[in-house]
Structure 1
Amino acid sequence: MRLVDRLNHGVGRVTMYLVFAMMGLLLYASFSRSVLNSPLLWGVEMSQFMLTAYYLLGGAYAMQVGAHVRMDLFYSQWSPRAQALVDALTILFLIVFLVTLLLGGISSTHYSLQYGQRNYSAWAPPLAPIKLIMCLGIVLMLLQAVATFLKDLARALGRAIDEEDAA
């Protein structure tokens, strides 16, 4: 669990800087279109790929630091052990969803690599790189979900795992 936490912490911290690269790209694309009168064919599409990488690679880190939105109707009134039990049960649904998503992602990536799939645009970039990043992000999220499940299960059983060591 600590290895998964360290890995996702590192990937998440590096991934945060993609926002600045994306902003720079969009500023350059805007400058190129407005001032130079030479629009970039690839600028907006590349920024969409960067945004996709940003949220797919950053999702596990967001889960780790508790940045995901949580519906809190009754949750805050429960004891910490009851919260951990509910978290452990509900995260099982996430794990099933992520496994299904990963299987589809692997199939789609295989197809993209096998047939040289390209996007239907003027730039027509190959889709395999972003699909590989998609699968990597799903794997990282799946690993973090399993680690979080184990931590929640330990808390529900009264054997909390020290999370400071993991970060």
Structure 2
Amino acid sequence: MPNVIKGYVRAIDAMNRLIGRFAMYLIFVLVGVLLWSSISKTFFNPSLWTLETAQFVMVAYYILGGPYSIQMGSNVRMDLFYGSWSLKTKAWVDAFTVLFLMFYLGVLFYGAVSSTAYSLGYFGLEPFQFFGDLLKTLVTDGLDAASTKLGYLERSSTAWRPFMWPIKTILCFGVFLMLLQCLAELFRDLGRLRGDDF
């Protein structure tokens, strides 16, 4: 394999390992939020923010830990025959099936970007163009001009009514990282088929 591909695989692995190791500590944040929810419901007035905050933390935990899970091979896999196959057969099957995962993640990423654009007040059909224009305006004209491009910001329909764009942005970021990790896994499997191990 070319050095540029090996460098890509090493860089993506290192980045997703770092983010995944950070994300695994979000479980303690989740426990803290749920503990406070139980205490406040028992002894004080119930907090409005706890249920939705717990949901948002769980989404961040799951979606940011996903690429690290793929890297470690700890994602759920149905192992009827796979465990008894040779390394080359596993590499062939993994290289083929990761393409389906990448297609699914690509569709999911497009939906996440569209949903994030919607949460920022964009109701058109070109979310990537919206974000391109927003970034261009931010770089050239500054934050005030970019904020005028935003429409009505979506809020949750609950009593707490938090803005939805932060968690949707995390969703986009996590799915994009999963796509990058899947591409690294594809390169790793192709390298195994060629006899390169990295």
What TM-score does the superposition give when structure 1 sets the normalisation length?
0.93
**Distance (whole Å) between structure 2 residues aligned to residue 156 and residue 145 of structure 1:** 17
In the comparison of the two structures, how many residue pairs are matched? 160
Preserved contact between residue 154 and residue 160 of structure 1 (Cα < 8 Å)? yes
1:149 aligned partner, one-letter code: L
Preserved contact between residue 81 and residue 157 of structure 1 (Cα < 8 Å)? no
| 2:28 alignment partner in structure 1 | 20
Paired residue for 1:53, among 57, 60, 64?
60
2:193 aligned partner, one-letter code: A
| 2:70 alignment partner in structure 1 | 63
Confirm whether residue 3 of structure 1 aligns to residue 36 of structure 2.
no
Confirm whether residue 128 of structure 1 aligns to residue 165 of structure 2.
yes
| 1:164 alignment partner in structure 2 | none
1:4 aligned partner, one-letter code: I
**Distance (whole Å) between structure 2 residues aligned to residue 108 and residue 159 of structure 1:** 40
In the TM superposition, 1:46-125 aligns within 5 A as 46-114=53-121, 115-125=152-162
2:38 aligned partner, one-letter code: S
**C-alpha displacement at 1:29, in angstroms?**
1.3
**C-alpha displacement at 1:62, in angstroms?**
0.6
**C-alpha displacement at 1:157, in angstroms?**
2.1
Stretches of structure 1 that go unaligned for 5 or more consecutive residues are: 162-167
**How well do the aligned residues superpose, as a CA RMSD in angstroms?**
0.8
**C-alpha displacement at 1:78, in angstroms?**
1.6
Q: Deviations over 1:1-53 (max 9, x none)?
A: 111000000000001111001101111111111012x1001101100000001
| 2:139 alignment partner in structure 1 | none
**Distance (whole Å) between structure 2 residues aligned to residue 75 and residue 156 of structure 1:** 16
Q: Percent identity?
A: 47
